């Protein structure tokens, strides 16, 4: 039972983690894309549709990643090339995604989808207590961990990552140094879109293999909050996603046990926990300042 | 060239609009709390709209708004419909109760029909609801027959009378077979969040329940039950496709006949304020085929359904004891509808504390 609870937590945390890590890279480059929810839901509908049509969840995942990236390109074009307001454009992207996905997915409603199969390694998966947890989950779970490690390495150990962070911290200086600010931001935005698309596919192919309109149900917003919660650090995003997952699953168990605490209070626990941690983290102002991308959300128009 | 095409298109649009307006006798409008693609509650209401459309053809013009949140937004949505020339507006969720009545006061010529509520503050507001709990009683009977653990899991949405009533009916049905039967309740505090509903189902299964029923609107719990190899009940629509080996039955809301009846009344000029609470007898509550169970259980379920349908039996017939041990109904006593519609207590056997 303990193992299956941990697996449930991992399933709840993985889509948040994937979307958050993507958005973290976007924000590290100085762009605030509030359209995570919209890109995610587009990924969910695409992943579901392609998997249903081809019978292959992997093709669904691939298509979702591509659509997520393409959809974010729209955001990129508007905010980076036409220099529209990032907050408003991001919100518009969410609304567009929710509406468009509902329209595209009309024919998918009520159809059971294709579920991505779990990993199975002989002997290893059969180890009692930890086998299924470590070696028997869905492939995207492992991918999410690799993704986090990869982004952490990229941002803080590679030269390209340093360049990306410099763009996010001070785009004017970066520009003066001859760095292609807009180009790098385009790439970051597309990476974020691809991750959001993948997170959406996780919902419609692994978490609940079906298409229902608006099935992201606010997870894109939670992913956005997690980035701030993690003070723009990849491993903290992972910790945040799992904390959030653990508290939301834990409260369901508490309810099923019938411990007599009002369910409304229990349901709000994940959010309360997030706020408490956020307050604790931001007590150290200097550390927060160091991690916050200084150019976040500020428009950049290169002067000739 | 391009301009001509545009102009022609515009003209065609105006023309076709003109013809619809000339032929349509009445405009019916619907407000849904979820997306019509939820394959659950709102989906079924929309099926009702489609049935009405098919019945009346060109005589009926329809419009609907989906995913309207309960609260301040609802009032604006309803008012917008009223202003746009709707003759009759069906607001299909409990939380639309006050907004519906508020808007109804401003538009005395428009008829309002509010589902699952009890307030009729103006003569142009009618209320309608279905006795879903009749179906839940039957489900309880099946659950107690099939469950080895003697515990069922119940994924609930919000602690409103309708949901509490459903839980109680389920427990009473189960206890008619096994007096010690228990129900574990998890409140999702949402009507519609596939992921959360799936998590709730997993939590319940991890705690040892071997049958799941739900009062939330997505098909996710059915899929989880399938994955974990236990049985489950569908909700609002027939969800057999999501669990061919899992679904025992499902309570199917069939709103079509009611919508057709009310729109007909409006066309005939006989529309009057009323409060309809239809159940199995009226055809509002239909059970999906009984599947994945032995024949004796199926027979018992069918008998129970027949008894409720004929009016011979009411699920809320005493003796019934409340959760706190006090007596609610004496032997043979039947609850009045008012108590049910305001139900805010559990009967004995529910392993949960009712959120107040």
Instruction: Look over chain B and give the mean of its residue pLDDT values, rounded to a whole number.
Output: 88
Chain B positions in Cβ-Cβ contact with residue A105 (cut-off 8 Å): 37
> Looking at CA atoms only, how far is residue B290 from chain A in angstroms?
20
Q: pLDDT tens digits for chain B (356 residues)?
A: 444 444 444 444 444 444 444 456 899 999 998 888 778 888 899 999 999 999 999 899 999 998 898 888 899 999 999 999 999 999 999 899 999 999 999 999 999 999 988 889 999 999 999 899 999 999 999 999 999 999 999 999 988 888 999 999 999 999 999 999 999 999 998 888 899 999 999 999 999 999 999 999 888 999 999 999 999 999 888 999 999 999 999 999 889 999 999 999 999 999 999 998 888 988 889 999 999 999 999 999 999 999 999 989 999 998 999 988 889 998 889 988 888 888 889 998 887 888 76
Using CB atoms, which residue from B43, B203, B223 is nearest to A252? B203
Contacts with B192 from chain A: Cβ below 8 Å: 212, 214, 217
Contact B194/A263, CB-based, under 8 Å? Answer: no
Q: What DSSP character marks residue A55?
A: S
Residues with Cβ within 8 Å of A145's Cβ and at least 6 positions away in sequence, in order, are: A238
A70, A109 in Cβ contact below 8 A?
A: no
Q: B residues 154-173 near A, CB within 8 Å?
A: 159
Beta bridge partners of residue A93, listed in sequence order: none
CB A235 within 8 A of CB A246: no
DSSP B83-101: HTT-SEEEE-SGGGHHHHH
CA atoms B22, B23, B26, B27: torsion sign: negative
DSSP 8-state symbol, B317: B
Architecture of domain A2-291: Orthogonal Bundle (1.10)
List of chain B residues whose C-beta atoms are within 8 Å of the C-beta of residue A267: 187-189
pLDDT of A264 reads 81
- Contact between A39 and A20 (Cβ < 8 Å): no
pLDDT < 70: residue spans in chain A: 304
For A13, name the nearest residue in chain B, comparing CA atoms only: B195
Task: Report domain extents, chain B.
Answer: 25-130, 132-252+285-351
DSSP B322: B
pLDDT of residue B24: 65
Three-point CA angle A68, B194, A46, nearest 5° = 25
CA distances from B333 to B223, B319, B329, B330 (A): 40, 7, 6, 5
- Considering the domain delimited by B25-130, tell me its CATH architecture: 3-Layer(aba) Sandwich (3.40)
Nearest residue on chain A to B224, judged by CA atoms? A208
User: Which residues in chain B touch residue A260, judged by CB atoms under 8 angstroms apart?
Assistant: 353
**For domain B132-252+285-351, is the CATH number 3.30.70.260?**
no
Interface predicted TM-score (ipTM): 0.89
Residue pLDDT, tens place only, B229-266:
999 999 888 999 999 999 999 999 889 999 999 999 99
Give A 256-285 residues with CB within 8 A of chain B.
256-258, 260, 262-264, 267
Task: Give A174's Cβ-side CA count (13 Å radius).
Answer: 24
Alpha-carbon distance of B321 to B299, in angstroms, equals 28
Closest residue on chain B to A16 (Cα): B195
Would you say how long chain B is, in residues? 356
B69 touches chain A (CB under 8 A): no
């Amino acid at each position: 039972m303990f193992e299956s609870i941990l697996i449930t937590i991992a399933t709840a945390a993985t889509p948040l983690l994937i979307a958050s890590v993507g958005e973290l890279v976007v924000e590290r480059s100085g762009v605030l894309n509030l359209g995570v929810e919209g890109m995610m839901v587009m990924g969910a509908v695409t992943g579901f549709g392609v998997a249903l049509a081809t019978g292959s969840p992997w093709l669904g995942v691939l298509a979702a990643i591509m659509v997520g990236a393409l959809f974010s390109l729209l955001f990129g074009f508007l905010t980076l090339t036409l220099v529209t307001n990032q907050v408003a454009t991001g919100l518009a992207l969410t609304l567009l995604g929710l509406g468009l996905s509902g329209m595209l997915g009309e024919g998918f409603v009520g159809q059971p989808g294709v579920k991505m199969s779990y990993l199975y390694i002989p002997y290893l998966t059969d180890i009692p207590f930890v086998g299924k947890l470590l070696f028997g989950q869905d492939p995207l779970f492992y991918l999410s961990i690799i993704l986090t490690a990869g982004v952490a390495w990229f941002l803080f150990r590679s030269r390209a990552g340093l360049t990306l962070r410099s763009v996010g911290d001070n785009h004017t200086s970066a520009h003066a140094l001859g760095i292609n600010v807009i180009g790098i931001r385009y790439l970051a935005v597309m990476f974020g879109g691809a991750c959001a698309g993948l997170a959406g596919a996780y919902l419609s192919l692994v978490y609940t293999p079906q298409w229902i309109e608006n099935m992201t149900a606010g997870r894109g917003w939670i992913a956005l909050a997690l980035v701030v919660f993690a003070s723009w650090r990849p491993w903290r995003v992972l910790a945040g996603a799992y904390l959030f997952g653990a508290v939301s699953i834990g409260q369901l168990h508490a309810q099923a046990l019938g411990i007599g605490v009002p369910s409304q209070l229990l349901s709000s626990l994940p959010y309360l926990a997030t706020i408490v941690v956020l307050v604790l983290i931001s007590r150290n102002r200097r550390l927060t300042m160091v991690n916050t991308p200084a150019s976040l959300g500020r428009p950049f128009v290169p002067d000739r | 060239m391009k301009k001509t095409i545009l102009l022609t298109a515009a003209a065609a649009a105006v023309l076709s609009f003109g013809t619809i307006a000339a032929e349509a006798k009445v405009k019916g409008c619907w407000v849904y709390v979820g997306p019509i693609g939820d394959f659950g509650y709102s989906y079924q209401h929309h099926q009702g709209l489609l049935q009405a459309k098919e019945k009346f053809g060109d005589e009926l013009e329809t419009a609907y708004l989906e995913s309207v949140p309960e609260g301040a937004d609802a009032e604006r949505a309803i008012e917008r419909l009223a202003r746009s020339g709707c003759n009759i507006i069906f607001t299909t969720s409990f939380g639309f109760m006050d907004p519906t009545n508020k808007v109804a006061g401003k538009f005395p010529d428009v008829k309002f029909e509010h589902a699952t509520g009890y307030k009729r503050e103006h003569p142009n507001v009618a209320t309608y609801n279905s006795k879903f709990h009749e179906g839940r009683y039957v489900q309880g009977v099946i659950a107690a027959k099939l469950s080895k653990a003697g515990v069922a899991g119940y994924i609930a949405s919000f602690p409103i009378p309708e949901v509490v009533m459903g839980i109680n009916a389920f427990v009473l049905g189960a206890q008619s077979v096994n007096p010690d039967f228990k129900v574990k309740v998890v409140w999702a505090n949402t009507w519609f969040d596939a992921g959360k509903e799936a998590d709730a189902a997993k939590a319940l299964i991890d705690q040892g329940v071997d049958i799941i029923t739900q009062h939330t609107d997505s098909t996710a719990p059915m899929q989880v039950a399938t994955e974990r190899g236990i049985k489950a009940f569908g909700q609002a629509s027939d969800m057999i496709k999501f669990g061919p080996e899992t679904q025992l039955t499902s309570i199917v809301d069939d709103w079509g006949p009611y919508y057709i009846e009310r729109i007909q009344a409006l066309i005939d000029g006989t529309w009057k304020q009323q409060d309809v609470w239809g159940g199995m007898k009226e055809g509002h509550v239909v059970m999906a085929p009984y599947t994945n169970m032995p024949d004796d259980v199926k027979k018992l379920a069918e008998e129970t359904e027949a008894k409720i349908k004929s009016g011979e039996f009411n699920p809320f017939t005493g003796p019934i004891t409340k959760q706190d041990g006090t007596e609610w109904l004496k032997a043979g006593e039947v609850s009045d509808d008012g108590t049910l519609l305001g139900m805010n207590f559990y009967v004995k056997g529910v392993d949960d504390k009712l959120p107040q």
